[in-house]
Amino acid sequence: MTEAPEFSRPHKSDELPAKGRIVTLDPSADEREAVARRLGLVALNRFEGELKLHPEIGRQISLRGPIRAEIVQSCVVTGDPLTTEVAFDVDLIFAEDADPMAGLNMTEEDVLTDPEIEEPDPIVDGKIDVGEAAVEELALNITPYPRTPGAVFEGIDTDEDGSNQRENPFAVLSSLKNKMNSKD
């Protein structure tokens, strides 16, 4: 049994009106906290957007709209909390017949000829989980190595004398070779 997503907003694809449906993202504090844990964030202060689910030609459904979030991450240099605004647009296509395993274990014969064409996401059990799709898109738009402006990594002093210099292993080999040659 798979665990339910932290922020789930499923919508039945067969109950979607012809003009589409607007889905407002408004996770509770508990949902934001759970999403933050999942994404390795210190906090997810804000996560909002208005996404439109709309039927498309070929039994496909689009999900489009802007998302805005305020995230708190740890600076990779100082470890201090770093608050960042993230804004991006979602533009996804879902289809009943999409392969949920598309892209996995692909052979050369399976590779598309046009890399610009993206496979649609699957509609699972007749539903599109707008909340989960939004969280996945947020994950793709988070800076992987956040750094506080002006923070500089100065290295780590690993030597007891503070010199932080290691002997070149090739120099050691060269000196051994010279010792061996001098014994001849």
- State the pLDDT at residue 78: 87
Alpha carbon separation from 118 to 102, 122, 168 (Å, rounded): 10, 12, 49
pLDDT at 2 over 70: no
Return mean pLDDT, the chain: 85
pLDDT at 71 over 60: yes
Taking the whole predicted model, whether its pTM rises above 0.75 is answered as no
- State the pLDDT at residue 53: 97
How is 95-109 classified by DSSP, letter by letter? ETT--TTTTTT--GG
Q: How many CB atoms lie within 10 A of CB 32?
A: 21
| pLDDT tens string 72-118 | 999 988 889 999 999 999 999 999 877 655 555 555 555 555 566 67
d(CA 150, CA 164): 24
Say how many residues make up the chain. Answer: 184
pLDDT at 182 over 90: no
Strand partners, 44: 71
Share of the chain above pLDDT 90, in %: 59
- State the pLDDT at residue 51: 97
Q: Per the structure block, which two tokens stand in for 75?
A: 């600076």
Looking at per-residue confidence, does 97 or 57 come out higher?
57
pLDDT at 64 over 90: yes
